[in-house]
Amino acid sequence: MLLSKNTFPLYTRESPTKLFSKNNFSSSFDKYKIVPSFKYEKRSMKNITFFSSPNNQHFSLKVVTNAPSIIMDDEKEIISQNANDGIGIVEFFEGKNILVTGGTGFLAKALIEKMLRTTPKINKIYILIRAKDKEAAFNRLKSEIIESKLFKCLEEIHGEYYKPFILNKLIPIVGNIYEPNLGMDIITSQQIAQQIDLIIDSAANTTFDERYDIALDANVNGPYQLMMFAKKCKNLKLLMHYSTAYANGEREGLILEKPFSMGESITKEKINSISPYTNFPSLHVDNEIDLISKLKNNITNNIGLEQIMKNLGVERAKLYGWQDTYTFTKAIGEMIINNMRDEIPILILRPSVITSSYKEPFPGWIQGYRVIDPSIFLYGKGELPAFYCDQDTDVDLIPVDVVVNATMAAIAKHGYMQSPQLNVYHLATTLVNPIAIHQLFDYCYEYFTLFPFVNSKGDKIEVKEMKYFDKISDFSNYIWEVLSKKHKVQDLSEKELLKIHMRFKRKVEFLNNFSKLYEPYGFYRGRFHTGNMRILMEEMSEEERKNFEIDASNINWKDYLTRIHISGVKKHVFEGKKLPM
């Protein structure tokens, strides 16, 4: 999840409601909860044994269900016995042709680097890039990927052969995921459809409070167009889609790795759990598209349209039980994929808050000003003396290289299987290695005490221990108090006092809005079950666990944040640039 602005243009198209017609979808949940244990050969699976939870009987089936996996003690032993040969991660990627969307983004770029570094026998990686022509697409590939600091390790490995190697592997494709055929020309789309073995979908608009129409276009229409294209790919072994763990919305307690189906909503779940016969409107994307269309038709000019659309996204999200427009539309995007998949094998990965690299290709690499970073750096600059939250709430962090490793392992596992099913993985840490908000800021306090920022006058900025408030009014009052103490207002004229008052007011309003944006996460009451990730780790060989490390339980968060992450953001995001407010 990002806070940084990623704005995509809204493309007009004929009959948007027809695109998302209910007739295009079918939804069903499997009857039983089934936990698989796998035994692999290098390129094929020897057998699959399943356990049915209702009566604990054994079945031999060709496919597994969509239900979440919970590892029982007797199953752990079987998994361990079958894990000697590992998954065969490196072997799976050999000779594969892969289409990647969102390839210039933070996560996909890290994944591309890892695939090239650890599986050099991969055939081609086609990267869908928004550009006016092939030359512009190649220039973006060159500047944003090939010449990126992230690829320095790969360059050191190949030396003078680095550019020939990478230019042979990476193929820029002019396109747009929000258009039919992903915006590719007819000939290119046909060639790609015939060649690719795997689709990796990392394209998204990740702004929390994006305009509702733009967010739907990016996070819902994008997956729709991708699924339409995937059905043309005859050799497709797997489609992998990145979502977010927070697409689970305002659910509380232990949240299982369960797919979403069109029509369901969190509000409906809560109401039916209390009163099963109470009707609540089902969530259908065609209704949301109709709503936007009617609203736009009733607006005679574009004055205020942006704010209206922003407010609408938040209102619709809250109505159905999601925190914000981003998580709401990502959940609907998952519903689209589930209902359109037919026989296509689908893998949905839901990372929590992705942070800088823990180890690979080197510690601290990051691209962009991400979810936790605005809070950290505002605090370090002395601009955020308090935080509106429950200080004991866990913040779920996961380094990008752990996400990348889990991605490659899960792709290999389900790519070998090629079963027409949808599998969901939470890539999260609160159950295995939690860190509370107050711990996060305690570590930041230690860092900025040792390495303080310097203001424009050359003075070191002193930070104090963070204060926490669970009422926004108390938070606002405290900010006023801090500002008043920091800026002397004695012996000033009425005009000067008014000017300072207005500056204080703008500062408080900014921090209030900032805090409200993060409010759902500062009081979050859910924890993400990671049973599938645990099974994956058990199935990996010792060598795979070393080369594709996915166990985040041993991360020392204090060491990571103070030694790696904050320094990494300084270096890779703000080096040579002025820090934002």
Q: Which amino acid is at 108?
A: A
Instruction: Report percent pLDDT > 70 for the chain.
Output: 83
**Amino acid 455: pLDDT:** 86
Q: What are phi and psi of 215, to 5 degrees?
A: -65, -40
Strand partners, 351: 427
Active-site residue flag, 468: no
> Which H/E stretch holds residue 423?
strand 422-427
Question: pLDDT-derived band of residue 577, with 50, 70 and 90 as boundaries?
Answer: low
**Amino acid 580: pLDDT:** 55
- Average pLDDT (13-34) is 35
- The span from the CA of 32 to the CA of 55, in Å, is 10
**Amino acid 485: pLDDT:** 82
Question: pLDDT-derived band of residue 84, with 50, 70 and 90 as boundaries?
Answer: low
Q: What are phi and psi of 526, to 5 degrees?
A: -105, 155
DSSP symbols for 70-92: ---HHHHHHHHHTTTT---HHHH
CB 172 within 8 A of CB 143: no
CB 68 within 8 A of CB 532: yes
Question: pLDDT-derived band of residue 4, with 50, 70 and 90 as boundaries?
Answer: very low
* pTM (predicted TM-score): 0.84
CB 356 within 8 A of CB 558: no
Which range among 73-87, 200-214, 375-389, 448-462 shows the weakest confidence by mean pLDDT? 73-87
Q: Which whole-number Å values give the CA distances from 321 to 221, 244, 328, in the listed order?
A: 21, 16, 8
Which range among 295-299, 375-379, 416-420 shows the weakest confidence by mean pLDDT? 295-299
Considering the chain, what is the average pLDDT of its residues?
86
> 279 vs 576, which has greater pLDDT?
279
**Amino acid 72: pLDDT:** 43
> Which H/E stretch holds residue 19?
helix 16-19
CB 202 within 8 A of CB 108: yes
**Amino acid 351: pLDDT:** 98
> Does the structure show a pLDDT above 60 at 45?
no
- Average pLDDT (402-417) is 97
Cα 567 to the chain's mean position, in Å?
22
Segments of 458-559 assigned E as strands: 467-469, 526-528
> Does the structure show a pLDDT above 90 at 551?
yes
The model's pLDDT over 434-462, given as tens digits with 9 standing for 90+, comes to: 999 999 999 999 999 999 999 888 899 99
User: How many CA atoms lie less than 13 Å away from 186 in the CB half-sphere?
Assistant: 0
Active-site residue flag, 242: no
**Amino acid 302: pLDDT:** 75
The model's pLDDT over 275-293, given as tens digits with 9 standing for 90+, comes to: 988 889 999 999 999 999 9
DSSP 336: H
Q: In 277-351, which residue ranges form alpha helices assigned H by DSSP?
A: 285-298, 305-320, 325-340
Which one is catalytic: 126, 178, 242, 326?
326
Which range among 99-103, 170-174, 347-351, 487-491 shows the weakest confidence by mean pLDDT? 487-491
Hey, what are 459's tokens?
A: 């003075």
Question: pLDDT-derived band of residue 510, with 50, 70 and 90 as boundaries?
Answer: very high
DSSP 2: B
**Amino acid 369: pLDDT:** 87
Q: Closest Cα partner for 529 from 77, 34, 33, 69?
A: 69
> 368 vs 392, which has greater pLDDT?
392
Which range among 225-239, 311-325, 487-501, 527-541 shows the weakest confidence by mean pLDDT? 487-501
Which one is catalytic: 237, 310, 330, 413?
330
Hey, what are 504's tokens?
A: 């204080």
> Does the structure show a pLDDT above 50 at 417?
yes
What burial class does residue 565 get, using C-beta atoms within 10 Å of its C-beta: 0-12 exposed, 13-18 middle, 19+ buried? Answer: buried
Q: Closest Cα partner for 110 from 330, 411, 356?
A: 356
The model's pLDDT over 157-193, given as tens digits with 9 standing for 90+, comes to: 999 999 999 999 999 999 999 999 999 999 999 999 9
**Amino acid 38: pLDDT:** 35
Residues 6+ apart with CB under 8 A from 474: none
Per DSSP bridges, beta strands 198-201 and 97-101 are parallel
- Average pLDDT (472-491) is 84
Helix axes 222-230, 325-340, angle to 10 degrees: 20
> Does the structure show a pLDDT above 70 at 223?
yes
Question: What would the 3-class secondary structure string for 232-296 be?
Answer: CCCCCCEEEEECCHHHHCCCCEEECCCCCCCECCHHHHHHHHHCCCCCCCCECHHHHHHHHHHHH
> Does the structure show a pLDDT above 90 at 44?
no
Which residue matches tokens 């079987």? Answer: 78
Which residue matches tokens 């944006």? Answer: 517
Would you put residue 291 in left (φ > 0), alpha (ψ -120 to 50) or beta? alpha
